[in-house]
Amino acid sequence: MSRLLPLSLLCLALLPGLGFAEGRQAAPSEKRAAAANETAVDISAVRDKLVILHDSKQHYLAVVPFGETDEHLYYGDGKQFHAQRVYGGGRVGDTEWDRIFWEPRVDAPWKGGIGFRDKKYTVQCGSRATEFEPLAAEEQAALLKVAAFAKPLWTHQAYALARDSKGTYYYVDRLREPENNKAFRLFAGPRGSMKLMKMTNVVSDSQGDIFATKKGELRLVLDRQHPVWAAGKIETALTSLPMEDNHVLIYTDLGVYAGQRLGTPCDDLL
């Protein structure tokens, strides 16, 4: 005959983190909610100052028009907005302003930006300029009630790029945050067909970096003088390529990030 648990034990079993409830796993919806909370941005201080712009094609920008140049510029689909990394801008009284946002797929910083001039809002992505206009007041109010605002979507940054004499590229990126983290990724291959390598960072110091497999058969050595790719005992000399001169190559032709959105207006307007 089965025995009933005493009431005191049954209560303990139902307490979070105790007894029989200890092994409970968070549901997928709870994990998504937790992730959203980690990246959420509080816009309450500027909510009444924001202007929501659109291009009539479900592309939206939220901006404080004559506010600080490096804060509160967001892009999204009207439901989810991501903050833009703003690196420059200016204003002329209360008649003109512009913001330059991070956009590595254009060949000049000013080709990724938004400006207000002659009473018109224009988004520049490369050689393409797209006119935006403000939402009607009631539409903006309705959108702000349901829209979520988050930190920048793209979380990686370029770390190193090199190639050999036959056109094989070696590219390393890592997470932007926290500062000086070791969350590196290594990609290798010809332009347009680079693949993620299963590598482990084993050395990273003032003299350079060594990325290697656990068994050490493959190694990318990025020192200041003689970068090499080593396959076993065979070493291939590499040429280091400066990040600042090759950001367009990295984010387009190399194919490392093919099909991935960066979270900027140029995802849709380039």
The pLDDT value given to residue 32: 45
- Quick one: average pLDDT of 17-37? 48
List pLDDT tens digits, range 149-192: 999 999 999 999 999 999 999 999 999 999 989 899 999 999 99
Sign of the CA dihedral with 133 first, then 139, 145, and 148 last: negative
Classified as helix, coil or strand, 266 is: helix
Residue 221: beta bridge partners?
210, 228
- Quick one: average pLDDT of 45-51? 95
- Mean pLDDT computed over every residue of the chain: 88
- Quick one: average pLDDT of 199-214? 88
- Quick one: average pLDDT of 47-64? 97
Residue bearing tokens 């809002």: 121
Task: Give the list of residues 6+ apart from residue 177 with CB closer than 8 angstroms, or none.
Answer: 155
Of 20-29, 111-120, 154-163, 189-198, least confident by mean pLDDT is 20-29
- Quick one: average pLDDT of 221-240? 91
The 3-class secondary structure across 122-178, one letter per residue, is: EEEECCEEEEEEECCHHHHHHHHHHCEEECCCCCEEEEEEEECCCCEEEEEEEECCC
Could you tell me the pLDDT band of residue 36, with boundaries at 50, 70 and 90? low
- Quick one: average pLDDT of 210-217? 90
The pLDDT value given to residue 102: 97
**Side by side, which strands form the sheet with 156-163?**
195-197, 184-190, 168-175, 156-163, 239-240
